[in-house]
Structure 1
């Protein structure tokens, strides 16, 4: 089964890793700011990947990568890490995390279309059904989430279609989804048969350079210095960097190496569902039956990829 479904299993592990890192980075971002978190997490990941490469491949940096791999993986890092995350974090500010996460569930079809156009990937009927069920389950779970501070016990989003959201925020969230979906396919195209962890390091190096430029433009270096002095935030950052840019992103490249970009992206998109349960246990949030039903539907959709 591991040989047959290696890509799908790697994608499922990626979703688990990203669930852990989301909780860690959410806590750290509230303490030291998202730009600082983005730069520090990528720098820590670069060091972890370098040590891993030194032990497994005898080189701290991926000097053996071809020019094709350096170019396309670097572009992938800019699209996925820098542009995608910048759009997504700004979308949180404009329309909130719940709507942003729903629109981020568009990443799988974006990845599938990009994989079709760039690499000629196709999906069978069962895979399309699995994608549809997973997207439906995620939508059920996220649309049921209550906004903190909702009054009188009523869910102000019980009928979200009645509300109008700023077009700017929706476009920013879509930009985040596009960054994730397109970045994943570009990674697959650039990586080829190259080592997934070394390929991730190239993406991370580009991400570090991109955020250094962004922080320099916005004048955020004082926040970075404050973040480096904040021990509780650094602990969460270290945990998030290990499970996110180090393990999570590397396993996402393993996933697209052995299965289609659309399937891998769909399985990885169940993070908003997986995060419900640790949010209840750790963050003491309340969960509704609709959220549980959405989780069941999403897991059912993912299970179709393994049948």
Structure 2
């Protein structure tokens, strides 16, 4: 059953991993800040992947990667990890991981539009319908009836957090495209390590300019935050990102993105159990509609 569907299975594993990592990083980010979580989790993931590739490939660093792979995967790491995750993790703090993940459902439509504009790929009527339904499902969750006659519709969450999540979606979409272009048939875990190296360098620059090294040092004293950051690093940039690259290596980006999008559904019961969030029926329906829209996009 699984044989011949490695990409699809990898996509399901990715969805589960991203559900766990979103909750872990939201919890850690609320305690020590999103910038600290970002750079610490990448360092942890770098070590984890290095240990894994030492056993699986006989080398700690991806020294066998081509120059072209290094260039494109480094760009992918800068765009996906530094720009995308910098905003996404702050969105976790502002509006929570559940709503942030829902906004991230715009990644497949953005990917499709980018491919249409830059690569000349065709957009069918079904693609456009899928985009419309995806945006409609998100709108159902983030828009509510206004409290005054002047405001018939208003946002249910802070606009700053929603904006951060959307920038995070842009970063992930472009990072995924750059990853697929640069990886080819290269080892997915080694490719992830190149992206992580780029991410660490990028965040080191950000932390230096923000003069936040002292705050990051203080973060190590918070046991709960470090535990959650480690859990997030294991299931996020180590397993999750590696399996996402494995997914796009064995199946189309569209199919992989569609299956990965089920984490918008998986995170609902987790948010209820872990953060004691009150989730309305409208929000559950909105999440289901969003996933349905993403699925239509790549049929």
Q: If the TM-score is normalised by the length of the shorter chain, which range does it land in?
A: 0.7 to 0.9
Corresponding position of 2:24: 24
RMSD: 3.4
Q: How many residues align?
A: 296
**Would the alpha carbon gap of residues 166 and 105 (structure 1) be closer, same or farther in structure 2, given more than 3 Å must change?**
same
Structure 2: give runs of 5+ residues left out of the alignment. none
Rounded to whole Å, the distance in 2 between the matches of 1:160 and 1:256 is 42
Rounded to whole Å, the distance in 1 between the matches of 2:125 and 2:7 is 19
- Pairs within 5 Å for 1:114-263: 114-116=114-116, 136-141=136-141, 161-162=153-154, 172-263=164-255
Of 114-123 and 252-261, more deviation after overlay is shown by 114-123
Secondary structure (helix, strand or coil) at the match of 1:235 reads: helix
**Normalised by the size of structure 1, how large is the TM-score?**
0.82
**Would the alpha carbon gap of residues 285 and 265 (structure 1) be closer, same or farther in structure 2, given more than 3 Å must change?**
same
**Would the alpha carbon gap of residues 246 and 11 (structure 1) be closer, same or farther in structure 2, given more than 3 Å must change?**
same
Rounded to whole Å, the distance in 2 between the matches of 1:291 and 1:165 is 13
Question: How far 1:208 sits from its partner (Å)?
Answer: 0.6
**8 Å Cα contact 2:109-2:294 kept in structure 1:** no
Corresponding position of 1:88: 88
Structure 1: give runs of 5+ residues left out of the alignment. 145-153
**Would the alpha carbon gap of residues 231 and 306 (structure 1) be closer, same or farther in structure 2, given more than 3 Å must change?**
same
Rounded to whole Å, the distance in 2 between the matches of 1:287 and 1:199 is 38
Question: How far 1:214 sits from its partner (Å)?
Answer: 0.5
**8 Å Cα contact 2:146-2:154 kept in structure 1:** no
Secondary structure (helix, strand or coil) at the match of 1:60 reads: coil
2:9 is the alignment partner of 1:38: no
Rounded to whole Å, the distance in 2 between the matches of 1:299 and 1:255 is 18
Rounded to whole Å, the distance in 2 between the matches of 1:46 and 1:228 is 17
**8 Å Cα contact 1:119-1:189 kept in structure 2:** no
Rounded to whole Å, the distance in 2 between the matches of 1:44 and 1:100 is 23
Of 261-270 and 74-83, more deviation after overlay is shown by 261-270
**8 Å Cα contact 2:74-2:194 kept in structure 1:** yes
Question: How far 1:32 sits from its partner (Å)?
Answer: 1.1
**Normalised by the size of structure 2, how large is the TM-score?**
0.83
CA-to-aligned-CA distance 1:216-256 (integer Å, 9 cap, x gap): 11011111111112211111111110000001001111122
